[in-house]
Amino acid sequence: MRIADRIGHITGGGSDGWEIYYRTREMIAAGERVLTLTIGEHDIRTDRRILDAMHASAAAGNTGYAFGPGNRNLREAIASRTEARTGHPTSWKNVVVTPGGQSALFATHMALLDAGDVGLHCDPFYATYPGTIRATGAHARRVPTTSDRDFLPHEGDILARATGAKTLLINTPNNPTGVVYDRATLEGIARAAVTADLWLISDEVYDTQVWQGDHISPRTLPGMADRTIVIGSMSKSHAMTGSRLGWVVAPEPLAEAIATLATNTTYGVPAFIQDAALFALKLGDGFEAEIAAPFRRRREIALRVLQGSNAIRTIPSSGAMYLMLDIRATGLSGNAFANKLLDEERIAVMPGESFGDASAGHLRVALTIADDQFEEALTRLAAFAERQLP
């Protein structure tokens, strides 16, 4: 008996990049105090009102099969939210509800790529991006970015790697860098997508976490609505990570194809979770701002603590719950720095190498512990970095 080749194709034969996270969990389980800045998980739980709505729906009997692309009332709410944020007309027929943003990414790539095709994604990248593309049987090809240009993708770099490609996956606000793509960057991406005839898959799960500038969906740009797919989720905007509710917004024919895939894979999202999501969306922008507020505060704490550091350069962080720190002045790789920091200071961060080649020599810091602990961790990290200077 043997395992299908597609599983090895998904992993690409390399590390999953989460070794620091696994080490940290073992240390905590052994009773050690570790200040953990590794994972994009809120330090608050889902609001009790949302949980009450979920419970009430389940108790009312909404526990059966949730066949199809989602309840129409939820799809209408998502369409309305998307139209308000992108300025482009959006119907409930453009929306497919999925079990989280990751499922939305998987379903979209499955609907657009065949075995042997090429899907593009930017480097650095969220850890699952290459595997999601490869899960279709396609090949994942990286579009490199550079630290000195704030990890913004450029039109020429996309076109240089677009031969044979069918899709381009982008993420703004960005995980892992915290960068928000400006209009000029997105216009260059759009031109490249048109020139190379690419579907543009825009992961916008951090769209409520913008600290400087504006979130611009490429769907709003001229001529892009018919080739852009928007990925959304309740996880980051409403602290509902474990509820697993996301969505795809796509042209109707593609939405129908993704719904067909859902019928043969997930069989839909439980109705009581959909009802809770609808309730949560009705809490409005003010509630979403409350969920985002701690990350805004901690970004300011980090910028204050790291100001003037000789060992650390902070990549301009305009959004999301992360900072990317350039520690190449220490002479250490991201992996070496992160492991030594964990061993000596009991502070856990993600090495940049976990997210691709472009962020080697960097660290990703998640803004996801209480303010006082976060300030302690960044202060000690900065002092540790200074001690590593050659």
* Domain coordinates in residue numbering, the chain: 5-45+286-388, 64-283
pLDDT reported for residue 14:
64
Chain-wide mean pLDDT for the chain? 96
Rounded-to-integer distance, Cα 171 and Cα 182, Å: 12
Helix axes 371-388 and 334-345, enclosed angle (nearest 10)? 120
Q: With a cut of 90, say whether residue 249 has pLDDT above it.
A: yes
What pLDDT digit, counting tens, does each position of 97-152 carry? Answer: 999 999 999 999 999 999 999 999 999 999 999 999 999 999 999 999 999 999 99
51-63 in b/e burial notation, b at 16+ Cβ within 10 A?
A: eebbeebbeeebe
Q: With a cut of 80, say whether residue 31 has pLDDT above it.
A: yes
Helix axes 252-263 and 101-112, enclosed angle (nearest 10)? 110
Beta partners for 95?
Answer: 249
The residue count for the chain: 390
Q: What is the mean pLDDT of residues 364-369?
A: 98
Same fold, 5-45+286-388 and 64-283: no
Q: Is the peptide bond before 69 cis (omega within 30 degrees of 0)?
A: no
What pLDDT digit, counting tens, does each position of 266-323 carry? Answer: 999 999 999 999 999 999 999 999 999 999 999 999 999 999 999 999 999 899 999 9
Rounded-to-integer distance, Cα 142 and Cα 137, Å: 16
**Residue 274, number of CB atoms within 10 A of its CB:** 23
pLDDT band per the 50, 70, 90 thresholds, residue 15: low
pLDDT reported for residue 13:
65
Q: Is the peptide bond before 124 cis (omega within 30 degrees of 0)?
A: yes
**CA angle, corner 276, sides to 275 and 277, nearest 5?**
90
Question: 390: Cβ–Cβ under 8 A, 6 or more apart, which residues?
Answer: 330, 331
Q: What is the mean pLDDT of residues 210-231?
A: 96
Hey, what CATH topology would domain 5-45+286-388 get? Aspartate Aminotransferase, domain 1 (3.90.1150)
Lateral strand order in the sheet of 139-144: 95-98, 246-249, 228-233, 199-203, 165-171, 118-123, 139-144
- From the candidate CATH numbers 1.20.1260.10, 1.10.10.1100, 3.40.640.10, 3.30.450.20, the one assigned to the domain spanning 64-283: 3.40.640.10
Q: What is the percent of the chain where pLDDT is above 90? A: 92
What pLDDT digit, counting tens, does each position of 190-216 carry? Answer: 999 999 999 999 999 999 999 999 999
Q: What is the mean pLDDT of residues 85-90?
A: 90
pLDDT band per the 50, 70, 90 thresholds, residue 87: confident
pLDDT reported for residue 55:
98
Q: What is the mean pLDDT of residues 18-32?
A: 93
pLDDT band per the 50, 70, 90 thresholds, residue 50: very high
pLDDT reported for residue 154:
98
Question: 244: Cβ–Cβ under 8 A, 6 or more apart, which residues?
Answer: 99, 100, 103, 235, 269, 273
At 24 the three-state DSSP class reads: helix
Rounded-to-integer distance, Cα 75 and Cα 92, Å: 5
Q: Which two tokens stand for residue 369?
A: 């512990």
pLDDT reported for residue 4:
86
